[in-house]
Amino acid sequence: MKKSILILTLAAISAAQISRAADITGVITLKGTAPAEKELTPIKDDPNCSAAYASGLPKTKFYVVGAGGELADVIVSLKGITGKSTGASAAPVVMDQKGCLYMPQILAVQTGQKVIVKNSDNCVHNVHTVPKENAPQNMVQMPGGADLTFTFDKPEPFLKFQCDVHPWMFAWVSVYDHPYFAVTDKDGKFTIKDVPPGKYTIEAAHRKLGTQTADVEIKDAGVAQNFTFEIK
Amino acid sequence: MNNKYNPALFWFAVLNAVATFLLIGLGGLVTSHEAGMSVPDWPTSYGYNMFALPIKFWTGGAFFEHTHRLLASVVGLLTTVLAVWLWLKDSRKWLTWLGVAAFLLVIAQGILGGLRVKWQLDWLGVPHGAVAQTFLVLVAALALVTSRWWHNSAAQKQIAVPRGLRSHVLYVTILIFIQLLIAATMRHQHAGLAISDFPLAHGKIWPDTSVEAIARYNAERMEINNAKPLTAFQVNLQMIHRLVAYAIFLGVAAAAMLARKKLGGRDGLTKFTFAWLGLLTLQIVLGAATIWTNKAADVATGHVMVGALALLVGALWWLVAARRTALT
């Protein structure tokens, strides 16, 4: 009886905590003018790749900025949290190789979470990870070949995926040991869901612009935290 | 076995040296196109026997990596034949053992290249590049010592080359080899151009390498290949590369002046030294062009090949000078 009461009490406390978890939202903007993106001219040397771009070659996408300065592809995460990964049970994340480009180019996953890489192109790619903390991998992927699956054991910011057959192809995957992260969309918006109550340091990381941090506190409701990166 | 000039042997040795030089060029293209890992398996290629890879897979970076492997196999075969030929037909024991050394070195070079890919050890690209240059000098030396000139020199009056001049050329040649190690380290950073202007460096005589400056360079750089972010180490390494280049140029210029003074303007070695100076002038132009063209692969590879030639010329110069002096 006492044991049942204890279990019920603990469950009630956990439920109360989960029900008090809240979201951290925000908008990230860029102040100043980003450098002009460069056309991926080497694509035209490979007919397998250039066939997808009859109307013009794609450009680099280092700075994806909206009309009002909204900055996409910024990875926002909570700092200093370890050992909270739910990656093993999380849904896999899919990255495709299409038109000889990785899509999407910026991703964030948890340790142990699967990254499934597809090859939708009519040519061979090699999927080559260039990590600093995790073990490197390099696998060939034939056109129409089986999907490749990657998982990473250690947290790492901007782990690079590249194709050495097509050296303009690259993507970055940030790996976290917890589920509290998000990538800004084309409107510069992000939402980190279900953050338990507490004080945190939130970090916004852009591939080119570096990182910014801010302190937030989750109490009874969600909080908003915006960031502004600047190019001088 | 004999010690007479054998033209077939000599020209085969020349063929091997030329093939090796071309292989260095092809290897240079692999790195210039960032294609070193484009064929993840070795000694197979995409699971196929290397000699049976379907042509449809010879695309993009894989074209350079795969043809590099094929030509490397040819050089391995040529070197093996040369080593056996020397062993069976040349009476100079030291030369036959040099042939064995060349055989062992080409095997080691092949393994270095293969392990770089198989074990994904990018840094192995640096010793792989260094051994390539060393091997080129070795096989060119084999061609020299099997040449008509080498065989006939013993019967001809030779003019000794002063020790000071020989030592000077040797030190400059060693400096060129050190420069090649610096260059190989730079190229295998896979970070693109650490400094995007010349003759200034990030707009200054000596570039700012503070944390803020490096962050600014990375923010402003719009690389279109899979280059890693720049670091202060890479910027400083590029500056050292430039300084050593100037030192080498001055060293070779001094060698040319010294050779003309000590040997006379008509001496073959003096002319060879001035040709060396011409080569170094071209090398500096190619180095500048590498930067001005944002590391265009063909220009950067040309820079690699002329660097190899510069090392070769110094080494062969010294061997000829040593031979002449020993015969006086």
Domain ranges for chain A, please list them.
23-230
N- to C-terminal Cα separation, chain A: 67
Closest CA in chain A for residue B30? A164
DSSP state, residue B50: G
Instruction: Tell me if B282 sits within 8 A of B302, measured CB to CB.
Output: no
Mark out chain A residues that contact chain B at CB-CB < 8 A: 35-42, 45-46, 48-49, 60, 62, 123-124, 126, 128, 130, 136-140, 142, 160, 162-170, 208-210, 231
3-state DSSP of B59-71: CHHHHHHHHHHHH
Per-residue pLDDT of chain B in tens (328 residues, 90 and over written 9): 567 899 999 999 999 999 999 999 999 999 999 999 999 999 999 999 999 999 999 999 999 999 999 999 999 999 999 999 999 998 899 999 999 999 999 999 999 999 999 999 989 999 999 999 999 999 999 999 999 999 999 888 889 999 999 999 999 999 999 999 999 999 999 888 999 999 999 999 999 999 999 999 998 888 888 678 899 999 999 999 999 999 999 999 999 999 999 999 999 999 999 999 999 999 999 999 999 999 999 999 999 999 999 999 999 999 999 999 998 8
Rounded CA gap, B253 and A34, in Å? 46
Instruction: Give the global pTM.
Output: 0.90
- Cβ contact A140–B60 (<8 Å): no
- Cβ contact B224–A128 (<8 Å): no
In this predicted complex, what is the ipTM?
0.85
CB-nearest to B40 from A62, A140, A210 is A140
Using a CB–CB cutoff of 8 Å, tell me whether B39 touches chain A.
yes
The tokens for A232 are 């001088």
Q: What angle do CA B45, B50, B51 make, to 5 degrees?
A: 145
Hey, what amino acid is at A121? D
Using a CB–CB cutoff of 8 Å, tell me whether B173 touches chain A.
no
Distances in Å between the alpha carbon of A229 and those of A65, A106, A108, A191? 11, 18, 20, 18
Rounded CA gap, B274 and A164, in Å? 41
Closest CA in chain A for residue B37? A164
What superfamily in CATH does domain A23-230 come from? Cupredoxins -  blue copper proteins (2.60.40.420)
- Cβ contact B40–A126 (<8 Å): yes
Closest CA in chain B for residue A164? B38
The number of angstroms, rounded, from the C-alpha of B219 to the middle of its chain's C-alpha atoms is 34
Using a CB–CB cutoff of 8 Å, tell me whether B225 touches chain A.
yes
How many Cβ atoms sit within 10 Å of the Cβ of residue A45? 13
Distances in Å between the alpha carbon of B270 and those of B150, B171, B255, B283, B325? 18, 17, 9, 20, 15
Instruction: Tell me if A17 sits within 8 A of A197, measured CB to CB.
Output: yes
